[in-house]
Amino acid sequence: MADGQWGNCKGCKYFGSHNPQPGGDETSRCMQPELSEFELEVSGDSGCNAWEARAGVAGTATPYTEPAPSSFH
């Protein structure tokens, strides 16, 4: 599920809120297919790297960078 970006739940399409623009202190179910089996209750200010943009909300994704192997000496 690593798609290379991280973002907050409030801007994620898997945040199970009916509010079109969820707030950071709102809590809701995470509906991400691989995570929903855990029935996670997450807050808008939570986040993970399975984040995908929620329609109609400006994304807060920041690039998620893995350490490059060449950086280890």
Pick from 21, 48, 65, 72 the residue near ligand SF4 by CB under 6 A.
Answer: 48
State which amino acid sits at residue 65.
T
Residue with tokens 């969820």: 22
47 binds ligand SF4 (CB under 6 A): yes
| Residues in a beta bridge with 63 | 5
Nearest distance from C-beta of residue 70 to ligand SF4, angstroms: 29
Site for ligand SF4 in 12-31 (CB under 6 A): 12, 14-15, 30
Nearest distance from C-beta of residue 50 to ligand SF4, angstroms: 4
Question: Distance (Å, rounded) from C-alpha 11 to C-alpha 36?
Answer: 17
- Residue 19: C-alpha distances to residues 33, 36, 65 (Å): 20, 19, 31
- Contacting positions for ligand SF4 (CB under 6 A): 7, 9, 12, 14-15, 30, 32, 35, 42, 46-48, 50-51
